[in-house]
Amino acid sequence: MTTTPSTSIIFAKELPAGRAGLRHAIPAEWTKFWSVRSTPWSLFALVVATLGLGALSTNALHGQQFATLDPTRRVLVGFNLGQFAIGVLGVLFISAEYGTGQIRSTLAALPRRPVVLGAKAIVMGGVALVVGEILSFVTFYMGHAILAGTASHVSLSDPGVMRVLIESGIYMSLMGLIGLGIASIIRNSAGSIATFAGLILILTLILGAMPQAIQNAVSRYLPANIGATVFSVITPGRLQGTPVFSSQAGLVILAVYALLLLSAGCFFMIRRDS
């Protein structure tokens, strides 16, 4: 006697064991990262800012008869503007999903919200690190070519130069994560971008109007001043006489900022509706 298999058995589908985790979320976030228009435009702005301003600033040194104290800082001057582009990219990586409502689909496919934010942080931090390192070396070699044969000629073997180039890429990665962390809390693109800009620029301007004692106590913790030490072989003139952290200690502080913001964003993602 033959038996006919039931319809439920024929169409049964074996589901993968376990729950979706980072190894599933990272490819999905990678695809979303490169599929939105804000990514190429932000990276384009980053490249134009770093290379363009670096070329203009370095070319201004070409006709000088006396060597500049820190030509590396002049070559990398575009990173001061480029950090805004990478921060905006970090903001839009998650705030755009809230703005379009796509975040509901994301969380429906992967309800574990800490995993979603963790995957975004890995993708954002990794891309910003690679792009930042490439740009720092490309910008440096551009400046090296422009300054060849001048009094301000700079070489990769000069003291502190390699440190500046490597740490500049790390700094850009951390700024992208800070932008992502801010947006994971605020969830609104305009508000998050304004907050990021205020953190980098407005706080520095406000502190400049404070008494010297307050400036000495607080200025070393500001991201803009940390960036100034990272992009310079020697302490910049505007920070001379002001207590500053070493560039390595400053990067650790930025990493703490990024971790705290992402942790707060994770908390709010869990507590609030999408």
For residue 12, tell me if it sits in a domain: no
pLDDT of residue 13: 43
Give per-residue pLDDT as tens, 80-129.
Answer: 999 999 999 999 999 999 888 888 888 888 888 899 999 999 999 999 99
In a domain, 38, yes or no: yes
> Are 54 and 76 within 8 A, CB to CB?
yes
Domain that holds residue 79: 22-271
The per-residue pLDDT for range 47-78, each reduced to its tens digit, is 999 999 999 988 887 766 667 778 888 899 99
Q: Does residue 115 sit within a domain?
A: yes
In sequence order, the 6+-apart residues with CB closer than 8 A to the CB of 63 are: none
Q: 3 lies in a domain? A: no
Closest alpha carbon to 85 in 113, 47, 116:
47
Does residue 257 register a pLDDT over 90?
A: yes
Distance CA(237)–CA(244), nearest Å, equals: 12
- pLDDT score at 19: 61
Rounded mean pLDDT of 171-188? 96
More confident residue, 141 or 69: 141
Instruction: Report yes or no on 4 lying in a domain.
Output: no
- In degrees, rounded to 5, the angle at the alpha carbon of residue 58 between the alpha carbons of residues 163 and 144 is 55
Is the distance from CB of 143 to CB of 71 less than 8 angstroms?
Answer: yes
At 248, list the tokens: 């390595």
Has residue 139 got a pLDDT over 90? Answer: yes
- Say if 157 falls within a structural domain: yes
Q: Is the pLDDT of residue 6 over 50?
A: no
- When comparing pLDDT for 221 and 151, which is higher? 221
Is residue 106, in this structure, part of any structural domain at all?
A: yes
Neighbours of 23 (CB within 10 A): 9
- Look at the chain and report how many structural domains it folds into: 1
Whether the predicted pLDDT of 7 surpasses 60: no
Does some domain include residue 6? Answer: no
Q: Is the overall model pTM greater than 0.95, yes or no?
A: no
> Averaged over 227-256, what is the pLDDT?
87
